[in-house]
Amino acid sequence: MVAASAPETILTIRGPIVPDNLPGLCDRVCSLLVSTEAGVVHCEVGSIAPDAAIVDALARLQLAARRHGCRVRLRHASDELRELVAFMGLEDVFPD
């Protein structure tokens, strides 16, 4: 018997992200998790320019999702964004 996978949802992240945006962004993810009962949130990040604020925001989103028993996955992340995530020591936070 194959176990049913948890529902998934997509959240598009647009930049630039500034620190004042973080609470609202985390609130959006938490609302998505509650309303969709998603187990995975795919963050569409293909159109954002990689910088430390984006990585910080994504790490906070992952933390908020994990508090709800869910995970964040990055969709269409550029090589530059993945390299910055690794440089900041967070590559294990966003597995492929």
Tens-place pLDDT, residues 5-56: 567 778 788 777 877 877 887 787 777 777 877 788 888 999 888 988 889 8
SS3 54: helix
What count of residues does the chain have? 96
Q: Give residue 75's pLDDT band: very low, low, confident or very high (50, 70, 90).
A: very high
CATH number for the domain running over 8-87: 3.30.750.24
**How many other CB atoms are found less than 10 A from the CB of residue 58?**
24
Q: What is the pLDDT of residue 81?
A: 93
* pLDDT for position 39: 82
Partnered with residue 10 across adjacent β-strands are 42
Query: 3-state DSSP call for residue 20?
Result: helix
The residue ranges of every structural domain in the chain are 8-87
